[in-house]
Amino acid sequence: GISTIFFDFVYCRRQNKKSIYLDDFEIGSVCLSRNSKLYLKSWYLIIDLYCYPSDISILLPLRSGISYKGAVDMELSLEFVQDTIDWCLRNGLCLRATTNFAQAVHAPISVFPSTIHKDMYQKSIELQYLIHKLIDKMSTDKEFIFSIFEPISKVDAFVNRLFQIYKKYPDGNNPITFAVIRTDYMEHVSDSGRVELKQVEYNTIAASFACLSGLVTKLHKFIQKRYDFESKFTGCLPDNNSLIGIADGIATAFKAYGNEKHRANVLMVVQPFERNVFDQRFIENRLFEKRTLTEVDEHGSISSNGSLLINETEISIVYFRAGYSPNDFPTDKEWRAREMIEKSTAISCPNIAYTLIGFKKIQEILCQENTAGLPLKRYLQPNEAKFIRSSFMKFHSFDTKEELISIVSKNPESLVLKPQREGGGNNIYGKDILPFLNSLNDDSFSSYVLMELINTKPFLNYIIKDGKVMKANLISELGIYGVFIKNSNQILENKVIGHLLRSKSQGVNEGGVAAGYGVIDSFERGRVRTKTVKRASRVLIEKYYPRLTLDFQTNKRICDEVAVISTKRLRNKIAGFTTHLMKRIQKGPVRGISFKLQEEEREKKDNYVPEISALDTSSIQIDSTTEELLKSMGIENLTGVSVVQEEIVDERKARRVGK
């Protein structure tokens, strides 16, 4: 009888010897027991097998011996890879195919999550609130914006067109400010070996992959459960609800718009033929419609009261997923649409001021040592400015093209040249910088910024891209999403909504996923191992015992002085356990600490004579018996000695009370 169908026309038949054949070639065997299982000889047949009888179940075991930590040392089975790709396709973790607009392919992904130190992740969240505050303060400072972009607009045509719109509508026509901001970081390993969180950039417009990043977290949780990796993970995968956060933010802004009596839509501005369409569709399915800038120009208008209309439908919010690149403005139609949106009373996410603040020149101004204090001191408290400055990499300032070339010539491999552009694929790295600078016009160099390259430590992982599995050394970039909404001076929403982790192969400079450079990743928050803390504390006591005290804060400062510790969390744990051991040494022997050191400490304690007595000799009370004793010794007139009447206690009453 017919057992299985391949491509609807090739048949497998089960014969008496319980083997399965494909056109007289044996491909497997079947056992029709109560728990029936089908064993296939060739892995490639799994891909084509999609229909089988109800009394046979497929057994597709993962190759034995694979664990999370050891998986990168072994080959993944085809079943594992196929399960992963199928999960992506059925859950929308996809991009449009480049060869056919009507087809979808799975997004490039990592197989296993990366590891981010827990305190690094926590610091990035704390920094995000300061980034919101700083960007908002800068966006309302007209003098600051004019001083920065007036010179750049003379040499950069794209910046000039945006700046001209800003000069026409510096305050906009709606008091509501709405922005979805993503700040990107990498773990930087300094020359001393310390691991620090350093800012790559912040994005005020079209921060993508908020939805797909949440799906990758779910994918990695699925892999953990399906293949029993949960016990192998050293940390936990944090929840990632960026989609819900953006949708809730749009709903809050829509409510603040105030036109609930009439039908007002939310408009998403997108690029034509967008590959990353599924990331947008998740938000669209919750809220609104989509249009390109060209369609906004063709079908849009402004009503008599200033409202933005698309096909006579009022638009309350315009959420930009395009408009950050010159490629988004091929004709004057797109520029007219951008100006129409800014001129209307619709809420722009972001408005034109936020768009300008997102350019790299602002990041350079904040990070330069000679000018960084100006905006930071103006908009933030001293402790806030110090905290946010700790995440900045060094930017080099230059006034002439010759000066820029001179700086790059000294050590080009440690530098990256950035234009005022977003979207990936725009930066120039290392040895490519000098030839590029030589090809520039004398004036256009001033629209670029020069940044020190972040030095991060690679890790080994599998990636799946275009259906192929590759093992590679990866480096990761962590993005934190935040939503900021205010009405005039009243803040309606200011919160962190999720994260994005993108990884790329070591040696690949750009990290844009949609641009084809990286993969979407997730991360587990690493834990501090107790074994490491105990060993470090004992070494610290052996070498620096005379300096250590019983005070945690003092010991914490000593840790910073005498050791290079990668994170504050690890430093605090070592200082805490060191303080605990110091207190135990005062009481008795402690295992693992030099016996000689402990004996010397106890001898010092036994022979210790304080300079000031702990007894108060100014007033000493004695009873009558002691007074008689002092008189018999001839020293009854001692200073500060007073006699107190001895209390007589009834012994029988005392015994009754005791019972």
What distance in Å separates the CA atoms of residue 427 and residue 477, rounded to the nearest whole number?
16
Q: Is the dihedral of CA 527, 532, 536, 538 positive or negative?
A: positive
Inform me whether the pLDDT recorded for 488 exceeds 70.
yes
Cα 650–Cα 652–Cα 656 angle in degrees, nearest 5: 115
Q: Which of 11-15, 124-128, 588-592: highest mean pLDDT?
A: 124-128
Confidence of residue 649 (pLDDT cuts 50, 70, 90): low
Q: Mark whether 182 is an active-site residue.
A: yes
Q: Is 16 helix (H, G, I), strand (E, B) or coil?
A: coil
Q: How confident is the model at residue 12 (pLDDT cuts 50, 70, 90)?
A: very low
Residue 526 in tokens = 């690493």
Q: What is the dihedral of CA 230, 479, 253, 381, to 10 degrees?
A: 120
The set of residues, in sequence order, having a beta carbon less than 8 Å from that of 530 and lying 6+ positions away, is: none
Residue labelled with tokens 């290392």: 430
Q: Which of 79, 422, 477, 524 is catalytic?
A: 422
CB atoms within 10 A of CB 71: 23
Lowest average pLDDT, out of 88-92, 149-153, 221-225, 449-453, goes to: 221-225
- Which of 123, 321, 338, 360 is catalytic? The answer is 360
CA distance 654 to 49: 93
Q: Which of 77, 203, 213, 240 is catalytic?
A: 203
Active site includes 583? no
**Burial of 155 from C-beta contacts in 10 A (0-12 / 13-18 / 19+):** middle
In this structure, of 75-79, 375-379, 455-459, 556-560, the range with the lowest mean pLDDT score is 75-79
Query: Which H or E run includes 654?
Result: helix 651-658
CA distance 368 to 372: 5
Structure tokens at 647: 């209390």
| Tokens (6 digits) for 502 | 């993108």
Catalytic residue, from 182, 321, 504, 569: name it: 182
Which range among 54-58, 334-338, 410-414, 495-499 shows the weakest confidence by mean pLDDT? 54-58
> Smallest Cα–Cα separation from 153: which of 447, 365, 591, 585?
447
**How confident is the prediction for the chain on average, in pLDDT?**
80
Q: If pLDDT is split at 50, 70 and 90, which confidence band does 443 have?
A: confident
Which candidate in 321, 338, 418, 573 is catalytic?
Answer: 418
Q: Is the pLDDT of residue 302 over 80?
A: yes
pLDDT category at 348 given cuts 50, 70, 90 is very high
Tell me how far apart the alpha carbons of residues 535 and 375 are, in angstroms, rounded to a whole number: 44
Comparing 65 with 649, the larger pLDDT belongs to 649
Q: Which CATH superfamily is domain 530-606 in?
A: Ribosomal protein S17 (1.10.60.20)
Predicted confidence band of residue 259 (pLDDT cuts 50, 70, 90): low
Q: Which amino acid is at 113?
A: P
Q: How many CB atoms lie within 10 A of CB 557?
A: 13
* pLDDT greater at residue 521 or residue 261: 521
Choose, from 110, 114, 124, 208, the residue flagged as catalytic.
208
In the chain, the amino acid numbered 613 is S
What is the per-residue pLDDT for 507? 74
What is the b/e burial string over 495-511, where b = at least 16 CB atoms within 10 angstroms of the residue's CB? ebbbbbbbbbbeeeeeb
* Residues forming a β-bridge with 487: 176, 490
User: 408 is written with which tokens?
Assistant: 């790059």
Give the C-alpha separation, 107 to 401, whole Å. 41
Any residues with CB less than 8 A from the CB of 375 and at least 6 apart, and which? Answer: 134, 138, 144, 365, 366
Report the range of poorest mean pLDDT among 15-19, 198-202, 316-320.
15-19
Comparing 147-156, 160-169, 394-403, the range with the smallest average pLDDT is: 394-403
Tens-digit pLDDT profile for residues 47-57: 233 333 333 32
Are residues 322 and 206 in contact, defined by beta-carbon separation less than 8 angstroms?
A: yes
CA distance 71 to 121: 25
Count CB-CB contacts under 10 A for residue 474.
23
According to the CATH classification, is domain 109-393+454-526 in 3.30.830.10?
A: no
What are the helix and strand counts (H, E) for the chain?
22, 28
State the catalytic residue, choosing from 291, 361, 421, 502. 502
Q: 252 to each of 64, 210, 255, 455, how far by Cα in Å?
A: 51, 18, 5, 40
Check whether 14 has a pLDDT greater than 90: no
The answer to whether the CB of 98 falls within 8 A of the CB of 117 is no
Residues 6 and 22: beta-carbon distance below 8 Å? yes
The verdict on whether 203 is a catalytic residue reads yes
Cα-Cα-Cα-Cα dihedral sign, residues 99, 105, 108, 111: negative
Is 201 considered catalytic here?
yes
Question: How confident is the model over 359-382, as a mean pLDDT?
Answer: 79
Q: Is 592 a catalytic residue?
A: no
Confidence grade of residue 30 (pLDDT, cut at 50, 70, 90): very low
Q: Which residue ranges make up each domain of the chain?
A: 2-48, 109-393+454-526, 394-453, 530-606, 621-658
Would you state the structure tokens that stand for residue 7, as one six-digit string? 């491509």
Alpha helix (H) residue ranges in 3-154:
45-48, 78-91, 118-139, 142-152
Phi, psi of 607 (to 5 degrees): -90, 10
How many Cα neighbours within 13 Å face the side chain of 512? Answer: 15
pLDDT score recorded for residue 567: 64
pLDDT-based confidence at 650, cuts 50/70/90?
low
For residue 509, the model assigns a pLDDT of: 64
With b meaning 16 or more CB within 10 Å and e meaning fewer, what string describes 291-313?
bbbbbbbeebebeeeebbbbeee
CA distance 412 to 415: 5
User: Among 201, 314, 334, 524, which one carries the catalytic annotation?
Assistant: 201
User: What is the residue whose two structure tokens read 């989609």?
Assistant: 243
Task: State the Cα–Cα distance between residues 383 and 520, nearest whole angstrom.
Answer: 34
CATH 3.40.30.10 matches 394-453 = no
In this prediction, what percent of the chain has a pLDDT beyond 70?
78
Q: Reduced to 3 states, what is the DSSP secondary structure of residue 416?
A: strand
Structural contact between residues 113 and 524, judged by C-beta atoms closer than 8 angstroms: yes
Q: State the SS3 of 433-469.
A: HHHHHHHCCCCHHHHCEEEECCCCCCEEEEEEECCEE
Phi (first) and psi of residue 101, to 5 degrees: -65, -20
Tally of CB atoms within 10 A around 366: 22
pLDDT reported for residue 64: 28
Q: Could you tell me what percentage of the chain is helix, strand and coil, using 3-state DSSP and rounding each to the nearest 5? A: 40, 25, 35
Whether 422 is a known active-site residue: answer yes
Residue written as tokens 């004695």? 622
Q: Which of 28, 92, 423, 516 is catalytic?
A: 423
